[in-house]
A and B are shown apart, each in its own frame.
Chain A
Amino acid sequence: MSIISIASPDSSTMLASRSLARRVFDKAVASPGFRAGAAIFIVLALATALYPELSGIDPVKMDIKARLLPPLFEGAKWSWAHPLGTDQLGRDMLVRSLVGLRYSFLIGVASVIVMLFVGCTLGTIAGYFGGRIDAVIMRLTDAQLSIPMIILAIAVLGVSRPTIPAIVLVLGMSNWPVYARMMRSVVMTERQREFVRAAQIGGSTDLRIIVTLLLPLLLPSVLFTSVLDVARMMIFESTLGFLGLGVQPPTPTFGNIIADGRKYLLNAWWIATMPGLFLGLTLTSINLMGAALERARDTVHAGGE
C-alpha cells in the first residue's frame, strides 16, 4: 500500500481530481485513530495467522498435569510455555484465543457480506422503483427492527444444529434493514439527478442504470459503514457462543471459552477474562478504523461536494 504518503494540506485542486472514495480513504488513513487501530489490527492478524502453527501447540490437546496454570508473572507456577496460562483441561489459552479469533473474524466478515448483499439489493430496489414495492420492503424493515434479533437467533440456532453456514446466515439476516434503509434513501435522491435521466432517455434499462451508474457511486460509502458492522457481528457471534449456540466445542471460540471459564471464575480468573481481552482489543482496532472512515466520509461529503 503506497497511499501512506502524506498529502500536502493545500492540495485541494489535486484532491478534487481523485475519486470520492479514494479521498475518504486517504483522509481516514491520515488520522491517528485509524493508524492506531491499523497497527493493533496488523499485530493481531499476524499473531493469529502465524502463532498457532509456529508454536506447534494443538488448541484442543489436553494436558491434565499442566491444568489451571496462571498467566505470566501471576502466582508461582507460571511458565513461558503458556504465556496466558492454561484452562481446566490444560489447554493453552493463547493458542485457543488466537484460533477463536480466526473463527470470529471470518464469521464476522462473511456475515457482513451476506448482510450487505441482502440489504443493498432490497434497499436499491425499494429506492429505485418506489411505490408499492418500497412500502412493502420498508414495513418489513420496520417489523424486523422492532424485534431484537437475538431472540430470533436463539430460536433458530437453538434447534437446528449451529453449523458455521447457519450462524453466518442468521447473523447476516440480523442487520440488513439498516443497509436497506441507507441504500434506499441515497438511491431515491440520486435517481432524480440528471445523469440518471439522461441514461433513461438514452434507452438504458433499469438494471443497467443500477449496476453501472448507481452502485459504483453509492457502494463505497456503505462499505465504510460496514467496517463497524464486522465488529458488531463478532460480538454477536461470541454472544451466541457464550449461550452455547455458536460454533460447537471442542473448536475454541471466544464465546465458548468464556462460558467455560465462567465456571472457574473464582479459582482461575484468567480463563474467562483473557479471551475477552483479545476480543476487546480486536474489536477496538476494527472500531477505530471504522469510526475514522465514517468520520472522514462525513467531512468529505459535507465539505467536498
Chain B
Amino acid sequence: MFTLNFLIRRLAQGVVIIFLVSFLIFTLLRVVPGDPVRLMAGGMAPEALIEKIAKDMGLRDPIIVQFGRYMGSVVRGDLGQSFVRPANGASTGGSSFNDSTRGERAEVLTLILEALPMTLQLAAMTLAISLVFSAIIGIAGGLYPGRWPDKVAFYISSIFISLPNFWLGIVLALLFSVKLGWLPAIGYNGFAYTILPAIVLAVEMSPVLIRTLVGSVSSQMTEAYVSVGRVRGLGRTRIIANHVLRNASVPLFNLLGIQFSSLLGGVIIVEYIFDYPGLGLLTINAVLQRDFPLIQGIAIVTSAIFVLINIVVDLVATSIDPRLEY
C-alpha cells in the first residue's frame, strides 16, 4: 500500500514538473526573437502572406491562449505537427513559398518515436561502459582510501572531467576511425556506430560516478557492521560483495537519476558530432530551425522520462535500503 501511495504522489508531482517545463519552454520560445513562419514560408514570401499563415496557425494569439490550446491537444495525446519537416522524410528546404512538391508535415510524435530508440541504445551502451569502468576504479579507490588506487581514481576523474566532449569526439574519431580504421564514426549503419559516441559519453559521465563510489564505499567501510562481520567470521570478500557494495550503491542510484539531464545535454553534442540520428540530433536541428512544436514535444517527452527515471531510482533505492523513506 505504501508503494502505491508513493507512486500516486510522485506521479502527481511529476505531472506538475512536466507542466512547468512545457510552460517555461513554451513561453521562452515565443518571447525570444525569431519568426518560425519566415523559415517555413521561405525567405522570398511576401510579408502579407507571412502574416496570414501566422494568423491561420494561431501564432499571433496571446501566449496564454496558445498554451491552453496546445496543452488541450497534448492531453489528448496529440503533440502537433512539425513546422518544417515533411512527413515523407524529404529535404526540409524549399526556398519558394508556393513549392507544390512540399508534402504533408510530419507528426511530432512520429519523429520523436523514430529517434528515441536510437538514443536509448546509445544511452544503454554509455551506461554499461561507464558503470563497469567506474565500478572498477571507484570500488578499488574506496577500499584503499589514501593509498594509490584512491589517488588513481582522483587523478583519472580530474582528467576525465576536464575533457570537452566535442573535442574528445573529434580526437577519438581521428584516432580510431581515420588513423587506425577500427571503428566507424559518422552516421549510423549498424551497432558498431554506437561504440565511439558511447565511449565519449561514458568518459563524460564516469568522473562523477567514480567520485561518488569512492566516497560511499570508503564511508561504508568504516561502519560498525563491517567490523561485526569480521567478528562473525565472514571473509573480507563476502563482507564487501554482499554488504558494503549493496549499501554503497544507494547514492550511485540517486546520482544516476540526477545525471540524466546532463547525459542528455552530452547526447545532443555527441550526436551532432557523430551525425548519429537520435533524439539529440533531432533536438539541435529543431532548435536551429525554430521548430516550436518539435522542441516542445521533445521537452515534454524528455522531462517525462526524467520524472519516471527518478521514480524508478527511488523505488530501487528503497528496496535496497528499507530505512529510506519514500
Contact = CB atoms under 8 A, between A and B. Distances in A.
Q: Do A and B come from one complex?
A: yes
A215 interface: no
A238 to B, nearest CB: 6
A154 B284 contact: yes
Most A CB atoms within 10 A — which of B157, B158, B161, B170? B158
Interface in B47-70: none
Given A155-B287, A273-B174, A280 B264 contact: no
B287 A154 contact: yes
A20 B258 CA distance: 30
State the majority secondary structure of interface residues on A: helix
A150 B154 CA distance: 28
A89 to B, nearest CB: 20
Interface residues of A, number: 47
A286 B215 CA distance: 21
Interface of B is mostly: helix
Interface string B296-322: 001100110011000000000000000
A210 interface: no
Contacts, number: 137
B166 A239 contact: yes
Interface string A278-295: 011111101110010000
A268 B159 CA distance: 25
Contacts of A209: none
A266 B170 CA distance: 11
A269 interface: yes
Contact of A158 (B265, B288, B306): B288
B280 to A, nearest CB: 9
Contacts of B165: 235, 239
Contacts of A149: 265
Contact of A269 (B20, B158, B174): B174
Interface of B: 16-17, 20-21, 24-25, 28-29, 32-34, 154-155, 157-159, 161-168, 170-171, 174, 178, 211, 215, 258, 261-262, 264-265, 268-269, 272, 283-284, 287-288, 290, 295, 298-299, 302-303, 306-307
29 contacts: A142-B17, A143-B20, A143-B24, A143-B303, A145-B258, A145-B261, A146-B21, A146-B302, A147-B21, A147-B261, A148-B261, A148-B262, A151-B298, A155-B287, A156-B28, A160-B32, A231-B161, A239-B164, A242-B269, A243-B272, A258-B166, A272-B170, A280-B162, A280-B167, A283-B161, A283-B164, A284-B159, A287-B161, A288-B158
List 8 A-B pairs, minimum CB-CB distance, nearest first: A283-B162, A276-B167, A148-B265, A159-B34, A143-B20, A284-B162, A146-B306, A150-B265
Interface of A: 33, 37, 139-140, 142-152, 154-156, 158-160, 231, 235, 238-239, 242-243, 254, 258, 262, 265-266, 269, 272-273, 276, 279-284, 286-288, 291, 298
